[in-house]
Amino acid sequence: MSVLGNFTMVDAQTDGSLILSFDDPDLFKHPIAMLWEPGFWVMTDAHAERLREYLLKGGFVIFNDFEAGQWANFEAQLKRVLPDAQLMTLDERHPIFSTFFRIDRLDIPNPMNHHLGGLTPEYFGVFEDNDPNRRLMAVVNYNTNLAEYWQLAGRGFFPIEAENTGFQIGVNYMMYGLTH
């Protein structure tokens, strides 16, 4: 959030976090939500219904930090929210990757000393009416954990290029979610 605040005019809160359940009415006060580890995601039918309402009313969700065999659970849970949703591959040409920073390369590999080492990050989107020309309602970071780039920046764990790209993607996600 500090990078978002430093590079943009967004008054980003940096002194804490806000964790809400999908059935919390305050969720609708926030245009962007982020869900970690959706490979282990389990929700009630009421949560699925409220998340569907949130997305259909203009909310934007970022799914982050899951890999490999966790895809099946993620996809099953997403289908409970949006039964007809199609997950579409996003590449560098999608506007989300040039909303603020121009991202030319998304396939920055995870470091080999990381549990995601050897996996290539992939990005997917969920669009209104499954039309890639309509609003992007959700972005999916698969085989990567962008938040680790943010948390561990400057500690030598990740290459500088990967850290920079991780921050740039994060700022782009926030700016896209706030403007679309």
Q: List Cβ neighbours of 87 (8 Å cut-off, separation of 6 or more).
A: 75, 78, 124, 125, 126, 140
Q: Is the pLDDT of residue 158 over 90?
A: no
62 compared with 168, residue with greater pLDDT: 62
H or E stretch at 57: none
pLDDT at residue 156 tops 90: no
How much is the pLDDT for 167? 80
Handedness of CA 21, 153, 103, 8 (dihedral sign): positive
Question: 17, 46 in Cβ contact below 8 A?
Answer: no
The 10s digit of each residue's pLDDT in 127-155 is 999 999 999 999 999 998 776 666 655 55
Predicted pLDDT at 15: 77
Give me the mean pLDDT over the 12-17 stretch: 73
- Residue 82 near residue 57 (C-beta atoms within 8 A): no
**Residue 122: per-residue pLDDT:** 92
Superfamily of domain 27-179: Domain of unknown function DUF4159 (3.40.50.12140)
Q: What is the pTM of this model?
A: 0.86
pLDDT digits (tens, 9 = 90+) for 22-72: 999 999 999 999 998 999 999 999 999 999 999 999 999 999 988 888 999
For the chain, what percentages of helix, strand and coil (3-state, to nearest 5) are there?
40, 15, 45
At 4, the pLDDT band (50, 70, 90 cuts) reads low
pLDDT at 170: 86
pLDDT at 11: 74
Instruction: Give the C-alpha separation, 147 to 127, whole Å.
Output: 23
pLDDT digits (tens, 9 = 90+) for 65-103: 888 889 999 999 999 999 999 999 999 999 999 999 899
pLDDT score of 14 more than 90: no
* Edge-to-edge strand list for the sheet holding 136-142: 32-36, 60-64, 136-142, 122-127, 88-89
